[in-house]
Amino acid sequence: MDKNKTDKFILKPAKISLVILIPVFLFSSICWTLESIAWDNLSPSVGINTTELQGIFTGATTVQTSAVNGLEEYSKKVIIPNELGLHARPAAVVATIARQYKGTVIKLQKNDEIVDADDVLDILGLAMHQGEKIKIIASGKEASEAGREIVSFLSNLKFFDGEEHLAWNLTDAPEDITILGNKGLRLAQMVKMGLPIPPGFIVRADRDVSPRVIKAYIITKVKELTKGFPDDIRWVVSVRSSPIKSVPGGMDTILNVGMNAAKARELGEAGKGWKLYSDYLKEFGISVFGIDRKLYESVAIRNYEMLTVKYAEIIKDEFKKRGNPLVEDERIFPMDFTEQLIYTIMAIKESNKNRTVRLFMQGHHDTNEALPTGVIVQLMKFGNKEDSGAFVLDVLEDDKGGTTRIIEYVHGEQGKAIVDGQVTPKPLAESGLGQKQLEIIDDIIEKIKNVFGHNFQLEGTVDAGKVWILQQRNLDKSNAIATVDAGKIDENTLLGKTIFSKEITKKQGQVIRPLSSKDLPEDPQTPYVLVFEYAAGNSTELLLEAVINKRLNITGVVTQMGGRTTHFTRQVELLSKLGYDFTYISDVNVLPLQPGDMVVLNPVKQTVKILNQPAGKSSELVEKQQQISNNLAIINQAI
């Protein structure tokens, strides 16, 4: 195996277009290019499992590989699983795959008959039926890679003949949480209720398949999967996880997949199109390839169009380092939509193995090694336009049997910014939503209450004045404290908003401001207060690391950004159910809070009091922070 193909995602451009293969494949009229994905030890940061579909289909024998004079030898037997056998359509796919690997000779064997794998007619001449064994034999520089790709495809023929589904359009999806995962099931149910849900499809949670199989399936089933999408195939989509058990903030979400310069210009300055494009490339590089986030954050460019170009260069440089440079063209990021989508789907599906999820499962005494996870792909609805925004709504049953609503809204942003704690949203009274939009939301709430009960959270967006629901999750009764008048605040007392407190008592602790797990102390006895600027990023992981793994005595959590409806808040509430008792206060100016400071959190007055800072220190820092904020505002206006 070529050493340059270790730990990477390789895309091999196809020689044969689907325009040629349409009569054989019976595809839709959209002319997709069939491209073979070779999957050999993806970037360790993503941690994708290269084991080929274990436990899905039976009959595959042990692989035999060897290397002579630098050339690989590969052979493996597979039982044909589908009723139609190895007919014209899959035979053409096998031949297309075989032609990708120049310098590698690939044969198919049935009993004593051996044919070339790159010849469709020869393959059909084998007359392979369901239940019969076929042997894949490969010899050459990339024999193992080529052999595994063909084996993976043949093992999954049931998917391609419609005998089994690997993915469903949301309108057709079965209502089964083990197949769709938690969020996917609720989306499918809300679609059937007639609620305004963006069109999309979901990759099933209970199958661990390789990217080559997912890509081939999406290409062959594109017409069914994208039912409800606009005819213009320049789609921009969101890709979200759907585990069978909710892990708030534990898995990745990547928005604006397929973003391009034309769409960025279409959204315009008010729509922050270039910001969306740059944000997407940043998350794509981090989540898919494991590029260090600090590399992106070190870029000192404030013009979002220029920033987009720079972020694209970072990803292109990563491809060059791995020996597979992208073919440059007129596009800023020269990668086709289908390729971006498959990369993203696999990264999201495999994010169920990340550190945050493992800590969450450990804390809840769940011994499952992996949490089955579906992947939801939906057409993007933008909250970034002039008359647009995003909201997160908690509907909770109160002690008297009534309903309490906590709605948080942010203008010109997407919902992920709220649930990830990247912004501090406004309450409903300051949202600016029109009466018609509020009536639509009220109607949605009543319909959902009739199906899911009183306690749930909705994440939605208002796109060009129209309300869309993006996802829904059930909640337990909230223990969050109602807003109260904090009264006069002295210079060493910081005002915030109490988000959660299990017990209405003051909590005292020593400030720690970790950027990574290395910054967490080892002393399990000292009471600590965790302080973060955002209730987002790795804050959730560090909270779980401190409580579950380090077993630190955390008495409180303080953040500057984030509201009641964030994933971070959900994790705080879930930890309280495990017996952990701490207060969470947000919307606090955290700059004066330095590591080692002793502070007192008062959930009733919603304050953080610094006990051991010299008089005047906090006010000076507040003034300094305000000056920095003012300067940034001037710069942004100039841009």
Q: Do 291 and 411 lie in a common domain?
A: no
51 is a domain residue: no
- Among the listed ranges 23-32, 284-293, 298-307, 557-566, which one has the minimum average pLDDT value? 23-32
* Residue 394 parent element (H or E): strand 389-397
532 is a domain residue: yes
Q: Which residues pair with 609 in a beta bridge?
A: 493, 600
294 pLDDT exceeds 80? yes
| pLDDT (0 to 100) of residue 614 | 44
- Among the listed ranges 50-64, 225-239, 342-356, 529-543, which one has the minimum average pLDDT value? 50-64
Confidence of residue 107 (pLDDT cuts 50, 70, 90): very high
- Among the listed ranges 57-71, 108-122, 307-321, 440-454, which one has the minimum average pLDDT value? 57-71
Confidence of residue 17 (pLDDT cuts 50, 70, 90): very low
Helix%, strand%, coil% for the chain, nearest 5? 35, 25, 40
Confidence of residue 624 (pLDDT cuts 50, 70, 90): very low
Residue 278: give its domain's CATH number.
3.30.1490.20
| pLDDT (0 to 100) of residue 34 | 33
What single DSSP character describes residue 444?
H
Q: Do 590 and 450 lie in a common domain?
A: no
| pLDDT (0 to 100) of residue 269 | 62
| pLDDT (0 to 100) of residue 55 | 27
Strands 200-203 and 113-116, bridge-based pairing: unpaired
Q: Do 9 and 77 lie in a common domain?
A: yes
Residue percentage of the chain with pLDDT more than 90:
33
| pLDDT (0 to 100) of residue 407 | 79
426 pLDDT exceeds 50? yes
Q: Do 207 and 354 lie in a common domain?
A: yes
pLDDT digits (tens, 9 = 90+) for 186-198: 999 999 999 999 9
Average pLDDT over residues 281-295: 90
Residue 562: give its domain's CATH number.
3.50.30.10
306 is a domain residue: yes
Q: Which domain holds residue 499?
A: 493-624
Average pLDDT over residues 538-555: 89
271 pLDDT exceeds 90? no
547 is a domain residue: yes
Q: Do 177 and 326 lie in a common domain?
A: yes
| pLDDT (0 to 100) of residue 76 | 94
- When the pLDDT of each residue in the chain is averaged and rounded to a whole number, the result is 78
184 pLDDT exceeds 90? yes
| pLDDT (0 to 100) of residue 185 | 94
Q: Do 586 and 444 lie in a common domain?
A: no
Residue 95: give its domain's CATH number.
3.30.1340.10
What is the spatial distance between Cα 32 and Cα 18, in angstroms, rounded to a whole number? 6
Q: Do 241 and 331 lie in a common domain?
A: yes
pLDDT digits (tens, 9 = 90+) for 397-414: 766 767 777 777 887 777
636 is a domain residue: no
Q: Do 469 and 397 lie in a common domain?
A: yes
More confident residue, 395 or 319: 319
Examine the fold and report which residue of 413, 440, 474 is the final residue of a domain before the chain moves on.
474
What is the spatial distance between Cα 575 and Cα 559, in angstroms, rounded to a whole number? 17
Which of 4, 376, 60, 454 shows the shortest CA–CA distance to 51? 60
The sign one gets for the Cα dihedral 48, 52, 54, 56 is positive
More confident residue, 603 or 310: 310
77 pLDDT exceeds 90? yes
Counting the structural domains of the chain, the total is: 4
SS3 417: helix
What single DSSP character describes residue 429?
G
275 is a domain residue: yes
258 pLDDT exceeds 90? yes
| pLDDT (0 to 100) of residue 353 | 80
In the numeric block, the tokens 């080692």 are attached to 596
631 is a domain residue: no
Supply the pTM of this predicted model: 0.69
64 pLDDT exceeds 70? no
| pLDDT (0 to 100) of residue 68 | 57
395 pLDDT exceeds 50? yes
606 pLDDT exceeds 60? yes
SS3 366: coil
Confidence of residue 316 (pLDDT cuts 50, 70, 90): very high
Examine the fold and report which residue of 441, 474, 507 is the final residue of a domain before the chain moves on.
474
Q: Do 442 and 509 lie in a common domain?
A: no
- Among the listed ranges 472-481, 499-508, 536-545, 584-593, which one has the minimum average pLDDT value? 472-481
612 is a domain residue: yes
Confidence of residue 476 (pLDDT cuts 50, 70, 90): low
Q: Do 365 and 411 lie in a common domain?
A: no
485 pLDDT exceeds 70? no
* Residue 481 parent element (H or E): none
Q: Do 247 and 348 lie in a common domain?
A: yes
Examine the fold and report which residue of 315, 350, 378 is the final residue of a domain before the chain moves on.
378
Which of 593, 590, 592, 574 shows the shortest CA–CA distance to 582? 574
pLDDT digits (tens, 9 = 90+) for 228-248: 998 866 789 999 999 988 777
Residue 408: give its domain's CATH number.
3.30.470.20
Q: Do 261 and 280 lie in a common domain?
A: yes
581 pLDDT exceeds 60? yes
